[in-house]
Structure 1
């Protein structure tokens, strides 16, 4: 049986992977798919792909686009979640900041440079007409636990993270959410290392067929809302709202969408150039 390593964030978006693994569906295809949680998010997964710790990543679109352009030898092989990610803009509960305008020039907590929390801080700054050189400052906090600590002790002033993931922290009175910043593109894609793709196309296609059949019917799984609420310690009404806003994909991200991602990242000086669609993607 061939072992294949896949990485992703331990969040509700990836429950479909857990369900297919639990059912042993990959083993039926002689694939030992091993899931690895990356609490550090996109930046940590980009590093893991480069260092061959994982073969496949379920990863934020903007993060993997940036890293492939920066010579990560990987390719996007499919969109995973079609809808945008809704990033909550959070401050410590007892913070003096009440509005997004109050955060201008303050310090953003980020999991690491090149991460989604880093790149979306730029998007938020652009949305609010801030000076990208003067009004953005960063503090690396590694992960969500680090953000709670960093905002609580004043090391950083605000933090962008997926709003439903952080909702329990808001409900607990550790964070206040003062706004939202949706990503202007599909949020998650599936990427794989080029060397792995070359010698494992058949296995990759089998993996995609399994996960796609599950995501296509994900919302129809009996009591899926209760399963998510229990597993991720979220309120049922929050899960139902998230399900109503989220659509999965079974297709490769198209050129027009990727061109839009690149144009926005280039305008923010996050990438040095706009590259050809085929440098970023591979259709199996």
Structure 2
């Protein structure tokens, strides 16, 4: 049986992978797919792809584009979640900061450099016409647990993370959300190491076919809202709202979207150049 390692964040977006694994769908096709949680997010997964710890990653669009341009030998083979990610802008519950403008020049908590929380801090600053050199400062906190500690102890002042994932922390009075910053593109893509594509194309096509069959009918799974609510400790009405606005994809990301992401990253000096579509993607 072919062993394949895949990584993703331990969040509700990836429940379809858990369900197909639990159902033994890959083993029925002779594939031993092993899921690895990456609470550290995109930066940690980029490193894991480079180190060959994983073959496949379900990863933030902007993060993997940046890392492929920086030399990560991987390709985007598909969009996974078509909807933009709605990043909540959070401060500690007892923080003196009340508005977005209050955050100008303060310290952003980020999981690591090159992560989604890092890149989106730039986009948020640009949206608010801040000076990107003077008004941005960073504290590395590794993951959501680190963000709780960093904001509570005052090591960092604010933190961008997907708003439904952090909603329980807001409900519990640990964070306050003072704004939102949607990513201007589809949020998650599936990226695969080039050497894995070359040697395991059929297995990869099988894996994608299985997950796509599930995501295309995901919202119709009986009581899926209750399953998500219980598994991820979220309020049922929050899950229902999230389901109503989230769309999965079964297609390769298009050229215009790839160009839009690159233009924005280039304008923010996050990437050194704009590369062609085929450098970043692979069509199966």
**TM-score for the superposition, normalised by structure 2:** 1.00
Distance 1:82 1:108 in 2: 27
- Aligned equivalent of 1:214: 214
Q: Deviation per CA, 1:53-103: give whole Å up to 9, x if none.
A: 000000000000000000000000000000000000000000000000000
RMSD over aligned Cα atoms: 0.3
- Aligned equivalent of 1:228: 228
- Aligned equivalent of 1:102: 102
Shift of 1:190: 0.1
Please state if 1:191 is matched with 2:177. Answer: no
Please state if 1:167 is matched with 2:172. Answer: no
- Aligned equivalent of 1:70: 70
Please state if 1:132 is matched with 2:125. Answer: no
Distance 1:143 1:3 in 2: 28
- Aligned equivalent of 2:257: 257
- Aligned equivalent of 1:56: 56
Distance 2:141 2:23 in 1: 36
Mark the runs of 5 or more structure 2 residues left unpaired by the alignment.
none
Distance 2:136 2:240 in 1: 34
Please state if 1:113 is matched with 2:76. Answer: no
Distance 1:281 1:106 in 2: 37
Q: Please show how residues 144-183 of structure 1 align to structure 2 within 5 Å.
A: 144-183=144-183
- Aligned equivalent of 2:84: 84
Distance 2:7 2:65 in 1: 17
Q: Deviation per CA, 1:12-34: give whole Å up to 9, x if none.
A: 00000000000000001100000
- Aligned equivalent of 1:274: 274
Distance 1:274 1:100 in 2: 31
Distance 2:239 2:102 in 1: 30
- Aligned equivalent of 1:45: 45
Distance 2:276 2:207 in 1: 27
Q: Deviation per CA, 1:90-136: give whole Å up to 9, x if none.
A: 00000000000000000000000000000000000000000001000
- Aligned equivalent of 2:23: 23
Distance 1:79 1:207 in 2: 14
Shift of 1:40: 0.3
Shift of 1:142: 0.3
Distance 2:141 2:71 in 1: 25
Shift of 1:197: 0.4
Distance 1:174 1:18 in 2: 29
Shift of 1:172: 0.5
Shift of 1:240: 0.3
Distance 2:112 2:172 in 1: 25
Shift of 1:43: 0.1
Mark the runs of 5 or more structure 1 residues left unpaired by the alignment.
none
Shift of 1:170: 0.4
